[in-house]
Structure 1
């Protein structure tokens, strides 16, 4: 049946509603009015010409929840879910034994390496013992992933080859944080969920081997570990049933139109992140 045009009173009511929503949208984004969204976080809100046949019956307009949504810049501020922590090596001056962190979508910060070789004085002894080798003060936890370059407990004596080999682990993790993890947060953010409480991220554990070159007759320097292991794991992965409960609490049993698309996008990123972390772990065993 063809719908009738709204009366002049109804049309004026609709115009007032649109004006109020325009004012609200200066500070708030309403998922309940969103009809389309992608990973960029952009959304379009429904609007109606009050003279159109598509104008809704004003008696059926329901004021949905207007939830303030974090800007993408706000998502980038979620850097650490658990702060970096360092364990010193058993042998003084040799650097650290283990570094850990749990990173959120802001976990990657571009910067130059800041490793201070004077923080691990045993590197000088290693260079004296092995004049044919070039050593670096390398980060256990990469600087761009939050690792300190001045705390000796996050540094390790590395050969140039081992330092370069660590990129096979670090670089995929950096890429996953900037893309897949951030896109997952953006999808949840666009649903109207409070992403600051999600706790979804990537944990990193980098552990120096307990064995040293001194175990090899060809290498007498006690201060140089013979390798280290980098391990990543996904933590706090969103559970579909929990998301459903949260969305029902916010919007009731009737879903916003684009929630199904956003959930499909989120599920794709969740699966991709697991695959990417598993692939990074394949490059996590570093041998000096």
Structure 2
């Protein structure tokens, strides 16, 4: 599946907000004081650690919003696995603008590439199974669209994007509604025919209840691989099965071997380490 870029209308608001946060009320006083206005430079954006790249649109936009005279030449597209020392992009333009936008551009690129990198690790761990790796709503406020894009860049898939686009009945919904079946019945009467309904179950007893009334997907929460295999047998292909809870690169293969359709992993967005990417000066002209 090809990686479709996000529309600029989605990418620009968080990038613009990050730049405004950094510029404050007086702009980049260091670069303005130290660097002549006419000075131009060429810099290289390079990988200091192996990983998967994501977020080049955000990084490039950071430079262009600061100074449209800055040009960015990409040497790899998003979704590319890079090695330490690989050149990601060459950037040329007014030196003040390059230095002003540098940190914001690297923040976005490093963060999103980190998400893509850990996602790719989980995807590799389940290779050969039918399971797909999906993210969750455990995202950084304001960055959900970008972070979910990074998951796709790493070979993963997206779960629902927000509360409005699908029903996911969680344990607290079940508790308040008085049971799995009652929660599903209420959901069916409360949403339109185009909306999918998924229910989280903690036990095989709850799973039987969900299957009796019928549902579009079941989230099998914190079950062991043996319990997951039994759950998959109970479902018998009648609905989508999703495993969730404590899935790591070390445990993913065993979870996928149970036969579930999806592995839901929240930490790939909320706890992925930043990929180390640097910006190094190459040449100058004035």
Question: Do Structure 1 and Structure 2 share a fold, with TM-score over 0.5?
Answer: no
TMscore range, shorter length: under 0.3
Higher Rg: 1
With normalisation by structure 2, the TM-score equals: 0.28
